[in-house]
Structure 1
Amino acid sequence: MIKTAFDSPAIVLLIGLCMLFGLNQTVVKFGLEGISPLMQAGLRSVGASLLLMLWMTLRGEKIFRDDGAFWWGVLLGALFAIEFLLIYIALTLTTASHTTIFLYTSPFIVALGTHLFVPDESLKRSQVVGLLIAFAGVFFAFRDSVDGEASLLGDSLALAAAFFWGATTVVLKASPQRHQSPSRVLLYQLVVSALALPLLSWLMNEPGITQLSSWVVGSLLFQTVLMAFAGYLAWFWLLSHYPAAKIASFTFLTPLFGVLFAWMILDEQLTYDMLGALLLVALGIYLVNKPGRRV
């Protein structure tokens, strides 16, 4: 049953998830000191897949069954794998704060995609304004890449990752996968990426695991247990119990937390261009998810 309003535990959980998602890019940076990008992303998916299968088994949910949406699930998994391939490579080239800002342009990809491919989800006036504001934010972020410590290539890869993240959401909304349980939707994405990313790491001659310090191991555990398994499951649980639009309106907090953690932990520079980009993207996310009149 969908509740019409948030209660206090849901608000606390939602803000906590926004903090968790914002922290993730910073944590990945620590893992990259000892595990190459694609191998790290692959190991994360392998571990989270095993945890999710255990969770489904304990809940009595079948892992292997004919759900009638297998190839759609494979497509979702492929998009998910490409998204994280791009994110992890981007983090070797640019800052965690820039990666977060560009990655969280994804809601605008979703808004455009659902407008085009999902019936009854046309753009609202507030969403059009939000898209334009976010575009201005991306301009400031790219200008900061030219003058700051980030790189245009890394930022471009993070923006491409946002496109694939948005495409994953649009495919989910427009395909039979939308009728699957949250666990099964997540399982497809984790399993396909768990198979694809280590193979790609090997094909690209990555060094793989080079150093397993406590920081590297802690980073991988954070990504596997808290982010890919518990974080995603909690997010899907919220989506199944509360209105999606109200949940989405909180996502503007994630890039704010992401830049804050990168500044506090990694001592990344905060320029006026980046702060302007952050505020514009956050405002755009809020407007895209704000109820309004359709155009």
Structure 2
Amino acid sequence: MPPIRPHLDRFAVTLMVGLCTIWGLQQVAIKVASVGVSPMWQAGLRSLGATLVIWVWARGRGLRLAEPDRTLLPGLVAGLLFAAEFALIFAALQYTSASRGVIFLYTAPFMVAVGAVWLLPHEHMRRPQWIGMALAFVGVVALFGESLLRPSGRAWIGDLMMLGAAVMWAATTLTVKASPLARASAEKTLLYQLGVSALVLLPLSPALGEPGLFAPTPSVWASLVFQTVIVAAASYLAWFWLISQYSTTRLSSFSFLTPVMGVLAGALLLGETLTPAIYGALLLVGTGIWIANRPAPGK
């Protein structure tokens, strides 16, 4: 395995906050696009477009994407896991609300931490890191937990799907870190996932009876472009570069910022109400991240 930096420097922290903000904005973009394009088709189009963007970027940098480096099998596995994650998320939202689902989805960082005990022993977590991640998760629950108390009906089906998506998310991250993909370029690692997911999600949409692109307004197209270029291409490329350079468990703790940023983005861009719970959740998440990323004594 290539050496990693044991602690996050200022650049990594700033970049992670920026990525979480982008991923939070993605939640708003998906809502905007959903009025004119089916969910699974939306995810597939995003993957297909981002595949082309990353391929052009890699060619422009002169990267050798086809050289034999033992990444084909883990790359295909990571791509299938990536596709399964988004298929489960979009299917889950047919049964449960986003506010319920996010609680189950954001168990993924804990799954990464548990998996790292066996697969990434050089990235073991100390007790303060577990405490910090738990506190950040409490912040997410404080933000969305009220939805768990509402009458659920068949919401448990969607909740289980979201939990399955969390497993896929964690498995993708661990596959990348514990296989030859860890030595591959971020571009090649991402191309495996985007390319395979496009091949899976686009045919899956008509198989599920989705109407596809049914109301292509300018706002729908703008949302798709944002999701393709900024989210699926630029931000995911930056993420895979980060996990090749820094501790995955430390980086994963920042992911709890994403749902909070999504709520803030909804308030700023969609006129949704800001409540005291949002500020309290931001405080808890921020404190948890700070605790999880404090250096060990004497380091």
Aligned to 2:65: 63
Q: What secondary structure sits across from 2:123 in the alignment?
A: coil
Hey, what's the Cα distance between the residues in 1 that align with 2:34 and 2:273?
A: 20
Over 3 Å counting, the alpha-carbon distance change for 1:286 and 1:144 in structure 2 is farther
1:210 Cα deviation (Å)?
1.0
Aligned to 1:264: 268
1:281 Cα deviation (Å)?
5.8
Q: What does 1:1-295 align with in structure 2 at a 5 Å threshold?
A: 6=9, 12-91=14-93, 94-96=96-98, 98-130=100-132, 132-133=134-135, 141-147=144-150, 152-239=156-243, 247-248=251-252, 250-268=254-272, 284=288, 286-292=290-296
Give the gaps of 5 or more residues in structure 1: none
Percent of aligned positions that are identical: 44
- If the length of structure 2 is used for normalisation, what is the TM-score? 0.81
Over 3 Å counting, the alpha-carbon distance change for 1:54 and 1:133 in structure 2 is same
> In 2, are the aligned partners of 1:81 and 1:197 still within 8 Å (CA)?
yes
Hey, what's the Cα distance between the residues in 2 that align with 1:29 and 1:155?
A: 19
1:27 Cα deviation (Å)?
0.9
State which drifts further: 91-100 or 119-128: 91-100
Give the gaps of 5 or more residues in structure 2: none
Could you give the per-residue CA deviations for residues 54-96 of structure 1, whole angstroms, max 9, x where no partner exists?
1111111123332212111101001101111122334455555
Q: What secondary structure sits across from 1:120 in the alignment?
A: helix
State which drifts further: 138-147 or 55-64: 138-147
Hey, what's the Cα distance between the residues in 2 that align with 1:27 and 1:54?
A: 24
For 1:119, the aligned partner's letter is: P
> In 2, are the aligned partners of 1:96 and 1:262 still within 8 Å (CA)?
no
Over 3 Å counting, the alpha-carbon distance change for 1:58 and 1:131 in structure 2 is closer
> In 2, are the aligned partners of 1:25 and 1:91 still within 8 Å (CA)?
no
Over 3 Å counting, the alpha-carbon distance change for 1:274 and 1:161 in structure 2 is farther
Hey, what's the Cα distance between the residues in 2 that align with 1:153 and 1:275?
A: 30
Over 3 Å counting, the alpha-carbon distance change for 1:113 and 1:43 in structure 2 is same
> In 1, are the aligned partners of 2:182 and 2:244 still within 8 Å (CA)?
no
1:116 Cα deviation (Å)?
3.0
1:102 Cα deviation (Å)?
4.3
Hey, what's the Cα distance between the residues in 2 that align with 1:132 and 1:249?
A: 9
Q: What secondary structure sits across from 2:216 in the alignment?
A: coil
State which drifts further: 68-77 or 239-248: 239-248
Over 3 Å counting, the alpha-carbon distance change for 1:91 and 1:163 in structure 2 is same
Hey, what's the Cα distance between the residues in 1 that align with 2:281 and 2:96?
A: 16
Hey, what's the Cα distance between the residues in 1 that align with 2:71 and 2:106?
A: 28
Equivalenced residues, count:
292
Over 3 Å counting, the alpha-carbon distance change for 1:230 and 1:21 in structure 2 is same
Hey, what's the Cα distance between the residues in 2 that align with 1:21 and 1:148?
A: 29
Q: What secondary structure sits across from 1:211 in the alignment?
A: coil
Over 3 Å counting, the alpha-carbon distance change for 1:161 and 1:231 in structure 2 is same
1:147 Cα deviation (Å)?
2.4
1:242 Cα deviation (Å)?
6.0
Note the aligned Cα RMSD (angstroms).
Answer: 3.5
Hey, what's the Cα distance between the residues in 1 that align with 2:59 and 2:21?
A: 29
Hey, what's the Cα distance between the residues in 2 that align with 1:5 and 1:122?
A: 15
1:225 Cα deviation (Å)?
0.5
> In 2, are the aligned partners of 1:126 and 1:288 still within 8 Å (CA)?
yes
